[in-house]
Structure 1
Amino acid sequence: MTVSENQELQKAIDTLKDSGVRITPQRHAVLEYLVDSEIHPTADDIYKALEGKFPNMSVATVYNNLRVLRQIVLVRELTYGDSSSRFDYKSSEHYHIICEECGKIEDFHYPVLDEVESLAEQVTGFKVSHHRMEIYGMCQACQEAAVQKQ
């Protein structure tokens, strides 16, 4: 775990404490896994990664912990075209680019897009709560694999 990941984890734990949520070893492990994760794991991915450390933990425990973390807005549930939700630690506002071949999801941030909310409010009179943007394409690895197949 890098220094910045350690700081993010501590910030998230402080948020849990401030919201009155009990910090169980399993909840701590799920949160730590999400903070460390470069991917956007499914609940099953998290379960598989932690089952060696917590042999008595069930997939239901992972889902329950993710639900709690979602309710206090530490974790975002990502639902895309496939049937399984993926989870993302909400360290900052960002967008996602998704590979249509392998399903890989990468984060990116583009601050100018934040202005879209303000413009939408001005044009429509709505009170905007949030927005979500997804970009689809083919990741570098899948592009290289496609070239090799030719």
Structure 2
Amino acid sequence: MTVSEQRLSEALDTLKGSGVRITPQRHAVLEYLIQSMSHPTADDIYKALESKFPNMSVATVYNNLRVFKEIGLVRELTYGDSSSRFDCNTSEHYHAICSECGKIVDFHYPILDEVESLAEQVTGFDVSHHRMEVYGVCEDCKQQQH
């Protein structure tokens, strides 16, 4: 069993455990998210699956993403005015974002976890989470520029 097959199986178990019915569309959206490392928008998911599910609407994709988000299977990423993107990697990690093409790549830097405890000490807040993204130009765009 591949890593993505294992993750899909675990995600389906989570859905079942939450009492969510697993429709073919829901299964396909989840599978696409797990296999996609590109942090797709709802529209990207819809376009990728519309030939397989011609009766599925963008609203169906959004509704499924909302369910997945409520259960904790996906995270919604919002950056500026652009469309929300969805990430199936719910572990603590950060994002590097290409300012040319918008590509998003995951990375983890454990030392940054200390930022939350420092922020609590300095401000007195009960810090629940933090997010960080770095911006630059990805390898593909750098090569196109040369």
What does residue 23 of structure 1 align with? 22
1:8/1:91 contact within 8 Å kept: no
Does residue 47 of structure 2 align to residue 34 of structure 1? no
1: distance between equivalents of 2:72 and 2:90?
10
Q: 1:48-87: per-residue Cα shift (whole Å, max 9, x none)?
A: 1111211111111001001111111111111113431111
1:73/1:90 contact within 8 Å kept: no
The count of corresponding residues between Structure 1 and Structure 2 is 146
The structural deviation recorded for 1:121 is: 1.8
TM-score (norm 1): 0.91
Where do 4+ consecutive residues of structure 1 move more than 6 Å?
A: none
The structural deviation recorded for 1:122 is: 2.3
Amino acid at match of 1:128: V
The structural deviation recorded for 1:44 is: 0.8
2: distance between equivalents of 1:90 and 1:68?
16
1: distance between equivalents of 2:125 and 2:13?
33
Q: What stretches of structure 1 of length at least 5 have no aligned partner?
A: none
TM-score (norm 2): 0.93
1: distance between equivalents of 2:4 and 2:88?
11
* Percent identity for Structure 1 against Structure 2: 75
What does residue 65 of structure 2 align with? 66
What does residue 109 of structure 1 align with? 108
2:72/2:90 contact within 8 Å kept: no
2: distance between equivalents of 1:126 and 1:19?
32
Amino acid at match of 1:123: V
| RMSD of aligned alpha carbons | 1.4
